[in-house]
Amino acid sequence: MAATIESLLARADVWRAGERHATTPTLASGHRELDAVLPGGGWPLQALTEICHARPGLGELSLMLPAFARAMDEQRWLLFVSAPHRPYAPALAAAGIDLERFAHLRCTTTEQALWAAEQALRSGVCGALALWLGHCDANALRRLQLAAEVGRSLAVLYRPLAHADQASPAALRIALDGEHLRIVKCRGALGEVARFVLRRSPHGVSVHAQAASARVLPFARAR
Amino acid sequence: MLWLALQFPHLAIDTRPGAETQTEPLAISEAQGARRIIIAANAAARVQGVRAGQVLGAAQTLCAELKTATRRSSDEDAAMQSLALWALGYSSLVARHGDDTLLVEIGASRLLFGNERRLLQAIAVDLEGDGLACVAGLAATASAARLFASAGHGRIVRDLADLREHITAIELHHGDLPTDTCDALAGVGVRRYGALLRLPRHELARRFGQVVPDHLDTLLGRRAEVIVPMRIAERFRQRLEWPHAIANSMVLLFPARRLLVAAAHWLVACQRSTTRLRLAFAHEDHPDTVIDLGLGQSSADREHLIAVVRARLERLTLPQGCVALTLELTETQALDAPSRDLFVRHGEAPEDAQQLLDRLQGRLGDTAVERFVVAEDHRPEFCVGATHGSRFFSRPTGTSQEKRFFSRPTGTSQEKRFFSRPTGTSQEKHRDPWVAPTTAMRPMFLLSEPQPVAQWPSFDWRRARLSLPERIESGWWDEADATRDYYRLDQTDGARLWVFRNRQAPHDWFVQGVYA
């Protein structure tokens, strides 16, 4: 029996609550207080990060831009897939994104967007990829997660907040409502804090830990 | 020199898709004088005794249900042409001989491929993939190689001195001697080269013509043979036809693949790469469906071309079954210096970004991939140049720009595409020398058309907080005059928008950007 458990624990896709280490490499988010909490000290690479936001314009993209810019080191690319509007190049350039290695893929259907994202992630060309999706089934998310594991990319999926309650294979899930940022799920347990406040600054956003915050177990839905 | 002769005796059948394996016996015939002679027969017909060279009547007696088709020399010629282009990938000296034979000088390319065995293996692998029946001969002279191929002599004879002993057992009719000369020689009991070589030269020349000693001399390398090297066509355009209409676009990948392989051989042979290709699908009674495919970066790589075409075919719907396909390379350019990594072996190189974008564009459509550059203009909608497609132009730099500001020339077409308005209408853009780079924070998303605030979801003035205005006044010279006051607008639900109002109509507010 003990041997069975040992072999189970050795599996890469099994983790124990309370175990605070990253199973995949990470990339610093550029937000000090967030890095302090995330396992491995940053956004997970080779895994899917899901951001569920209540409405566009909350700073959901600004939150990721420092990491996107850093992910483009070593001549790698940044791809946006089916963004809700056309990305505005001056703002991206100001955030340190090299426009020569940036492209936006406009897709007409969810299937196309998923296909394109999967191809891009598997190719290993992208340092980072952001994908905007509405509804999609768990199977599609699973495929995305698998594709993200292949390339060493920062893969970010943006979805409406309504999906935050649904199951998802993403390694890190974040809910964004108003100025409140909440970590819904995190592979490799979190530190003390799971709630943050997003503050707008002239050059992006800054993330601050919310003072009164209970320790949140992984998977546990706060509130 | 080491010559490889590749003979494709079965070309007439092999160029017809499915003919060899079909269950009904089929023979290809050709009129020779008043008679029709069988050129080739498929497997089902050969079982019943039909052979190449038979008179049609004799063949029909042997096999009552034999179907015959007339030989299409143009198809065979196209196939041979394609094979010759392929062979140019292995040698710089390739010649066609007769209808069905290729001569490839491989002595000089042995080192490039490591050794002779590897080179021959590579050739054999390619030939297997083509599905064409082929016999090969390898010898120090071209005509001996041809003779070995035709006679099925499997040895490699590298040395001229050894040629003589190796040809002795081969029958005369395999060689290039005219048929009546062969018959005359057979009449005096000379059927093999061994017997012929024992006869005195002068007597042979006197009784059977100079052609016989000349033939022997060429064979043994004592007399130079005239070999006309392959010339490469200046443009690549090839057509493939098939008997039944194909409606499924994924089935069309097979003929397309064959054409693309030929195109890739052509590109390698003339050291060019392509940036644009055209596929024309012919229908029985409908105008052709024409697809133009642009590549972001020129390529001569067969697998890349196939991947791009495959992605395009996946979303192709044809109005009708397709009966023929034409591939044309509409834009080619000289190949750049080899960019392949010295230590990365072929086939292991990871896909590069351009190939990925090409593939995505092939599947998603020509306008799906957007690339951006920043242009100097205060008006936000002109501040960014978007280029559709994976092709990316670098920014025009130079001294002519100040001049252009005053003289308003129309600009080159490349700049026009480059600086086209996001709305789609092409308009000449001027660089404004007084524009200072703005430090104000810009939104991450810009709406393609400004949207009245009333139409913005969950917009509420009562919950809105405005920043100080930023006035943008520009464009009085190019009919897209803009005098606007821009505000950052924070809603209490956390959303931050970029809104403006026109000075002329201060009560109409528009959303133009989202601070995502």
- Please say whether the beta carbons of B279 and B290 come within 8 A: yes
What are the C-alpha distances in Å from B145 to residues B6, B163, B218? 9, 10, 11
Q: Is residue A119 less than 8 Å (CB to CB) from chain B? A: yes
Q: Is residue A125 less than 8 Å (CB to CB) from chain B? A: yes
Give SS3 for A50.
strand
Question: Are B311 and B412 in a shared domain?
Answer: no
**Who among B371, B384, B458 is closest to A88 (CB)?**
B384
* ipTM of this complex: 0.84
Check pLDDT > 70 for residue A14. Answer: no
**The one-letter amino acid at A153:** S
Within 10 Å of residue B29's Cβ, how many Cβ atoms? 22
Domain end position, chosen among B407, B423, B439: B439
Closest CA to A73 of A98, A40, A56, A48: A98
What is the band of B342 on the pLDDT scale with cuts at 50, 70, 90?
very low
Q: Do A86 and B448 touch (CB under 8 A)?
A: yes
What is the CATH classification number for the domain harbouring B320? 3.30.1490.100
Would residue B452 count as lying in a domain? yes
Q: Average pLDDT over chain B, rounded to whole?
A: 78
Give the pLDDT of residue B410: 35
Would residue B158 count as lying in a domain? no
Question: Are B404 and B496 in a shared domain?
Answer: no
Q: Do B445 and A56 touch (CB under 8 A)?
A: yes
Would residue B402 count as lying in a domain? yes
In terms of CA atoms, which chain B residue is nearest residue A123?
B351
**Range of A175-179, B239-243, B439-443 with top mean pLDDT:** A175-179
Give the pLDDT of residue B495: 87
Angle, CA A196 vertex, CA A190 and CA A199 arms, to 5°: 145
Domain end position, chosen among B312, B337, B360: B360
**Residue B348 belongs to what domain range?**
237-360
Q: Whole-angstrom distance between the N-terminal and C-terminal Cα of chain B?
A: 69
What are the C-alpha distances in Å from B474 to residues A141, B221, B383? 46, 82, 12
Question: Are B434 and B449 in a shared domain?
Answer: no
Angle, CA B48 vertex, CA B47 and CA B54 arms, to 5°: 110
pTM greater than the 0.80 cutoff: no
Question: Are B433 and B385 in a shared domain?
Answer: yes
Q: Do A103 and B356 touch (CB under 8 A)?
A: no
The Cα A134–Cα A125 span in angstroms is 25
- A-B CB pairs within 8 A amount to 145
CA A68 to chain B, closest CA, distance in angstroms equals 13
Higher pLDDT, B391 or B14: B14
Number of DSSP helices (H) and strands (E) in chain A, helices first: 6, 12
What is the band of A154 on the pLDDT scale with cuts at 50, 70, 90?
very high
Contacts of B35 (CB under 8 A, 6+ apart): B55, B56
Contacts of B80 (CB under 8 A, 6+ apart): B8, B11, B96, B99, B100, B102
Residue that is written with structure tokens 């509804």 in the block: A135
Check pLDDT > 50 for residue A46. Answer: yes
Closest CA to A44 of A147, A160, A187: A187
Question: Are B319 and B400 in a shared domain?
Answer: no
Q: Whole-angstrom distance between the N-terminal and C-terminal Cα of chain A?
A: 38
Percentage of chain B surpassing pLDDT 90? 2
Task: Please list the residues that pair with B370 across neighbouring strands.
Answer: A104, B388
- The number of folded domains in chain B is 3
Check pLDDT > 70 for residue A191. Answer: no
**Who among A85, A120, A177 is closest to B445 (CB)?**
A85
Question: Are B353 and B293 in a shared domain?
Answer: yes
Give the pLDDT of residue B488: 87
Give SS3 for B420.
coil
Angle, CA A151 vertex, CA A147 and CA A156 arms, to 5°: 65
The Cα A197–Cα A205 span in angstroms is 10
Q: Is residue A54 less than 8 Å (CB to CB) from chain B? A: yes
Q: Average pLDDT over chain A, rounded to whole?
A: 83
Question: Are B355 and B373 in a shared domain?
Answer: no
Q: Do A125 and B497 touch (CB under 8 A)?
A: no
Q: Do B360 and A119 touch (CB under 8 A)?
A: yes
**Who among A93, A103, A112 is closest to B371 (CB)?**
A103
Q: Is residue A150 less than 8 Å (CB to CB) from chain B? A: no
How does pLDDT run across B484-508, given as a tens digit for each residue? 888 888 888 888 898 988 888 888 8
Mean pLDDT calculated for residue range A28-40: 86
Higher pLDDT, B340 or B468: B468
What are the C-alpha distances in Å from B199 to residues B62, B191, B193, B216, B384? 41, 12, 10, 11, 86
Helix axes B253-269, B302-314, angle to 10 degrees: 150
Give the ranges where A38-179 is alpha helix by DSSP (H).
Answer: 60-71, 89-94, 110-123, 138-150
Question: Are B351 and B390 in a shared domain?
Answer: no
Give the pLDDT of residue A189: 63
Q: Is residue A89 less than 8 Å (CB to CB) from chain B? A: yes
Domain end position, chosen among B297, B329, B360: B360
Query: Token digits for A76?
Result: 């790698």
CA B253 to chain A, closest CA, distance in angstroms equals 20
Would residue B155 count as lying in a domain? no
The Cα A125–Cα A122 span in angstroms is 8
Give the pLDDT of residue B40: 86
The Cα B221–Cα B139 span in angstroms is 10
Q: Is residue A103 less than 8 Å (CB to CB) from chain B? A: yes
**The one-letter amino acid at A109:** T
Check pLDDT > 60 for residue A25. Answer: yes
On chain B, the residues whose CB falls within 8 A of the CB of A58 are: 494-496, 516
Residue burial B221-258, b: 16+ Cβ < 10 Å; e: rest:
beeebeeeebebeeebebbbbbeeebeebeebbebbeb
Check pLDDT > 70 for residue B403. Answer: no
Would residue B91 count as lying in a domain? no
Give SS3 for B393.
coil
Check pLDDT > 50 for residue B465. Answer: yes
What is the per-residue DSSP string for B181-218? HHHHHHHTT--BHHHHHHS-HHHHHHHH-THHHHHHHH
Identify the sign of the CA torsion B133, B48, B35, B70.
Answer: negative
What is the band of A13 on the pLDDT scale with cuts at 50, 70, 90?
low
Show the domains of chain A with their CATH numbers.
Answer: 33-209 (3.40.50.300)
Q: Which of A155-169, B95-109, B419-433 has the lowest mean pLDDT?
A: B419-433
Query: Token digits for A86?
Result: 């056309």
Question: Are B387 and B488 in a shared domain?
Answer: no
How does pLDDT run across B355-402, given as a tens digit for each residue? 888 888 888 887 888 888 877 777 776 666 666 654 443 333 333 333
Closest CA to A48 of A161, A164, A171: A171
Would residue B114 count as lying in a domain? no
Check pLDDT > 50 for residue B51. Answer: yes
Within 13 A of B411's CA, how many CA atoms are on the CB side? 21
Q: Is residue A97 less than 8 Å (CB to CB) from chain B? A: no
What is the band of B264 on the pLDDT scale with cuts at 50, 70, 90?
confident
- Please say whether the beta carbons of B419 and B401 come within 8 A: no
Backbone angles phi, psi at B497, to 5 degrees: -120, 165
Question: Are B243 and B341 in a shared domain?
Answer: yes
